[in-house]
Amino acid sequence: MMTQSMNAQSRREALDAMAEERLDVLVIGGGVTGAGIGLDAVTRGLRVGVVEAQDWASGTSSRSSKLVHGGLRYLQQFDFKLVFEALHEREHLLDTLAPHLVRPVSFLYPLHTKYVERPYVTAGVGLYDTLARLGSRRGASMPFHKHYTAQGVLEEFPSAKADSMVGAVKYWDATVDDARLVLALIRTTVQLGGYAANRTRVDELTKDADGRVNGAVVTDLETGEQRTIRAGVVIAAAGVWTEQTQDLADAEGGLKVLASKGIHIVVPRERIKGGTGVILQTEKSVLFIIPWSRYWIIGTTDTPYEQDLTHPVATSADIDYVLEHANAILDEPLTRDDILGTFAGLRPLLQPGTKGDEPAQSTKVSREHTVTEAAPGLVTIAGGKLTTYRVMAEDAVDFAIGAERAKELPSLTTKTPLIGAVGYETYQRRADTIAEQFGLTRFMVDHMLHRYGAMLPQLLKMVQERPDLGRPLEHAPGYLRAEIAYACTHEGALHLEDIMVTRTRLTYEVKRHGRDAVPEIASLAAEYLGWDDARREAEIASYEARCEAEDEAARQLDDASAAAARAHAADVVDAVREVHAG
C-alpha cells in the first residue's frame, strides 16, 4: 500500500494489512522517535507497521520548544561528540531531509559583565560554529556568531530592558513545527510502503512457544475492534510510557524512565519587538524567547512530574515562573492578558543503567539515548531529543535486526527526503506567481510552503476544484479552509481535536483555544470525514470540554490539582464513542 494520503480509510486498510501479514518490525509509539524508526526500517526494505494509542505526535513530540539544535549546554560538559552529532543532524534536516519544515533562527546570548563573560562565551559559541561546519556542505549558510554592545542589543531586540545586559553574542540554530515533522515522517513511511495507524492501543504483547515476543494484540480505539499483529521484532519507542510498555512483556529487564514537565506560553509577535530570539539561563532550566511563525514561544520549565502522563498541563505557578523570567529582560512586562495559549510536555528522562542488572552486551548506550532488549523480541529505546531522532532510529533498527543484517541493509535516512522536501525550493521561487494566481497574500503562500513544501499543489488543486476552500477561516485567518480539508484527506485527522491541536496549532495560537473558529472547522471536518449532525456536535462538545478543563487546570497552583481539573474532560474517543457507534 503506497500512497501520499493518510485518512480514515487508509488507516483501516493499514490495520487490516498489519493483521494479515507478518511484519518484520512493529513499532509502538507515534512520536518523533517511533516515526523515525518506522521510516528507517522501511528504507531498508523491511515490512514495518507503526501504531500509536493517541494521535500522531500528541505527546512530547508536539509539545517541545520547537528547536533543532546542537545543545550549547553540552559544551560546558565537554561533550563535543554529542554536540557534533546533533549539529550535523540539524544540517541534514536543513539541507536534505526537511528544508521546508526546518528554518534557521538566531538567538542572543546575553552578557551581564563587560570583560569576564565575553571571552568565555565567545570560545563556546565559536566552537559551536566550528563543529557545525566540520564536514558540512551547508555550513556557510548558517552565519558565524556576531558580537553586540548594549546599544547593538537594543537595535536587534528593541524590547530588551536597557539595563538587562551589557552586550550579547548572536548565534544561529533552527526551529521546526515538531508535530508536522512527525506527520512528515509517518507520511513518508506510508508513502514508501509502511503501515501506520493512530488511535490504536497495544493491550498485550504476544509470545511464541519459547517465550519470545512475536507481536501484539491491539485495539482500534475508533471501533473497539481487536486485532493481533505478528512481527519478527517489536520496538517500543514509548517515551514516558516506556516502563508500562515493557511491563506488557513481563520484562525483568528494560529501561527506567522518569517524567519531567516543561511548559511554554505563546504570545503575539507584535507584543515583543525583536528580530531574533533570546536564550536565558535560569536557576532551574534554560528559558528561550523564540520567534515562531506569527508568535513568540517562551519557555521552558523543568520539574519532576508524577501525575497523569497523557494530559500534562501548565499550572498557574508554571505560568508565573515563565512570565517572571521573561520579564526580567523585557522593557514592557508581559501579563496574563498577553498570553494566547500555553502547552505542557513531558521529557522522558532516562535513568542510569537498566532494570534487572542486564549484561552490558544487551544494551547500546549513548550520552543521550539507550537501546536495549527489554525482553526477548522486545527492543526498547528511550532518551534522546528531537534533533537526533534519526540517529536514535538508526541505532534502534541496527540493534533490532543485528549487526550482520544491519551491514547488509544499512539505513538510507540521511538521503531520504521527507514528503514535501523534493521540489520545495522550486515552488518557493514561484511563490509570487502562485499568490497572484490564487488570490493569496505572499505571507499565506510562504506559510503554506513552510507547512506542506512541495505538497502545496495538492492543496491548490483542492482550491481549484472548490474555490471556497481558498478562503481564510473567518475566525482564524492564518489558515485556509483548504488546510482543514487536507488534514482530513491527507494527514490522518480523525477528530476535531486532531485538527485543532496537531494539524494546526489553533488550540494555543488563538485566544480561547480557537473556539470561535470551531463551528466552521467542524463543518468542514464533518463533510470530509462523513460525520452526521450528532457526531459533529459531539466532537465540538468534546473539544469544548477539553478547553474548559485546561483553563481550569491553569488556574491551579500545583500539578496534582491541575491534573484533577484536566481529568474532568474525557478523551475524545470516549466522549464520541456512543454517537460514533450509532
Rounded to whole angstroms, the Cα distance separating 434 from 445 reads 7
Judge contact between 205 and 59, C-beta under 8 A: no
Cell output for 60? 512530547
pLDDT (0 to 100) of residue 356: 55
pLDDT (0 to 100) of residue 227: 98
pLDDT (0 to 100) of residue 359: 37
H-run or E-run covering 102: strand 102-111
Cell output for 238? 514509548
For the chain, the straight-line distance linking the first and the last C-alpha, in angstroms and rounded, comes to 30
Q: Which positions ≥6 away from 473 have C-beta within 8 Å?
A: 479, 480, 481, 484, 517, 520, 521
Residue 27 pairs in a beta bridge with 50, 235
H-run or E-run covering 372: strand 369-375
Judge contact between 16 and 228, C-beta under 8 A: no
Q: Give the total residue count for the chain.
A: 582
Rounded to whole angstroms, the Cα distance separating 434 from 514 reads 28
Rounded to whole angstroms, the Cα distance separating 1 from 12 reads 12
Report the SS3 class of residue 103. Answer: strand
Digits of tens for pLDDT over the chain (582 positions)? 456 799 999 999 999 999 999 999 999 999 999 999 999 999 999 999 999 999 999 999 999 999 999 988 888 777 888 899 999 999 999 999 999 999 999 999 999 998 889 999 999 999 999 999 886 765 556 899 999 999 999 999 999 999 999 999 999 999 999 999 999 999 999 999 999 999 999 999 999 999 999 999 999 999 999 999 999 999 999 999 999 999 999 998 899 999 999 999 999 999 999 999 999 988 777 899 999 989 999 999 999 999 999 999 999 999 999 999 999 999 999 999 999 999 999 999 888 766 654 433 344 444 479 999 999 999 999 998 999 999 999 999 999 999 999 999 999 999 999 999 999 999 999 999 999 999 999 999 999 999 999 999 999 999 999 999 999 999 999 999 999 999 999 999 999 999 999 999 999 999 999 999 999 999 999 999 999 999 999 999 999 999 999 999 999 999 999 999 999 999 999 888 766 555
- Of the CA atoms within 13 Å of residue 85, those in its CB half-sphere come to 18
pLDDT (0 to 100) of residue 581: 56
Rounded to whole angstroms, the Cα distance separating 570 from 216 reads 26
Rounded to whole angstroms, the Cα distance separating 75 from 109 reads 15
pLDDT (0 to 100) of residue 2: 56
State residue 520 phi and psi, 5-degree precision.
-65, -45
Rounded to whole angstroms, the Cα distance separating 89 from 159 reads 33
Judge contact between 101 and 450, C-beta under 8 A: yes
The full DSSP string for 327-339 is HTTBSS---GGG-
Rounded to whole angstroms, the Cα distance separating 452 from 446 reads 10
Regarding beta strands 472-473 and 476-480, do their DSSP bridges make them parallel or antiparallel, or are they unpaired? antiparallel
Selection from 552, 540, 551, 444 nearest residue 496 by Cα: 540
